[in-house]
Amino acid sequence: MDLPNHHVVAATAPTEAAVATTTAGASPDTDVPLRSPSPSKVSEILHLIQSDDVQQKVEAAREIRRLAKTSQRYRRHFSDAVNPLVQMLLYANSVEANEAALLALLNLAVKDETNKISIIDAGALGAIVGFLQSEHPLQEHATAALLTLSASSVNKPIISAAGTIPLLVEILRDGCMQMKVDAVMALYNLSTHPGNLNLILQTEPVPCIVDLIKSSKKSSKTAEKCTALVESLVGFEEGRIALTSEEGGVLAVVEVLESGSLQSREHAVGTLLTMCQSDRSKYREPILREGVIPGLLELTIQGSLKSQSKAQLLLRLLRDSPYPRSELQPDTLENIVSSLISQIDGEDQAGKAKQMLAEMVQVSMEQSLRHLQQRALVYTPADLPVASCASEVSSK
């Protein structure tokens, strides 16, 4: 995942925060067409960024930051500025120069794989890791930069080998809300590289991720990435234990299953299914206890094809016996759910589940009827009016 649109930093005062307070999960950034860059202007800025005068370098970095904000063309033209900007990150006595350079590099890296790799190759990672340390004034900008740079598959092993994972989890635990969002998305990026899930698990991140899910809108991109990361972590016994041990952990996943985006719901049902498949006797009750049945029923109708399949499989695992019934009591979804409803404690949950089952049966009947009508249309002789054929089908 690359940096969301709200992270492309604007070029106002040098102390301006890199992250706007827009809703996480906004649509991906789109480049705004600008006038073609003047070769003389680009050359002038590239000359200034290599000047011996620190203040001139700072001004050049701010101009690169501004021009690269929404223009892929400028990101390409200023790729030669990467090395001098990285050198500015190493200035020990100028936070102003560090900040100007870091924000310029951040905008150069957005949606530009070549620049992402060049920034790491030029040695920026050591300075960024230093900025990630607690209470550093550039910690927030550094977290955003790491989110963008970690979107590159080439950079992932290098970034994780630099000891960033424990620092990101620390930010996830103690940072401000925007830093937590950036940190969990960076962790998700890093989690897709083989071996990194073990490193992430060692930092015990699950309580922090659950807290972030609880405080986020369930349909947000933040909730989606949190749930995706949890789904990966519960592939390990340590992750499953951590989720069930955390108060409200399973419930947070169930709430995403009920109210999340299509992708989030797919991750949520995948999480619960992985747990139940790993040890049904151990995880069946904790999952049922959180009132998962209504959400699963809805998912069998309204989810993606993958979500529907996972929801039906999980419903089978959650009933008393996961094995098929006799021919006298077919193993239909309705029978599975009816069996589950009889085990639910509490009138509210049972009532909601029964209502959902009735709606599911109604939808199933309507879908079957539409299928029959479509088949009738296909096989209707040319001289037979379509309307009469449809009425015959509907009357049966």
Average pLDDT over residues 57-86: 96
Count of CB atoms situated within 10 Å of the CB of 317 = 17
For residues 243 and 249, the answer to whether their CB atoms sit within 8 Å is yes
What pLDDT is attached to residue 3?
Answer: 59
- The pLDDT of residue 134 is 75
DSSP 155: T
Domains annotated for the chain, with CATH where assigned, are: 205-319 (1.25.10.10)
CA neighbor of 120 nearest in space, from 93, 160, 92: 160
For residue 9, give the amino acid letter: V
Backbone angles phi, psi at 286, to 5 degrees: -60, -35
pLDDT band at 224 (very low <50, low <70, confident <90, very high): very high
Q: Angle of helix 124-131 relative to helix 113-121, nearest 10 degrees?
A: 90
Q: pTM for this structure?
A: 0.77
pLDDT single digits (tens) 342-366: 555 555 555 555 565 555 545 544 5
Model pLDDT, residue 384: 40
- Whether 267 shows a pLDDT value over 90: the answer reads yes
Cα distances from 11 to residues 46, 198, 346, 392, in angstroms, run 17, 39, 56, 69
For every residue of 13-44, DSSP letters joined together read: -TTS-SS--PPTTPPPP-PPP-PPPPHHHHHH
Percent of the chain at pLDDT > 70 equals 71
Maximum pairwise Cα distance, the chain: 89
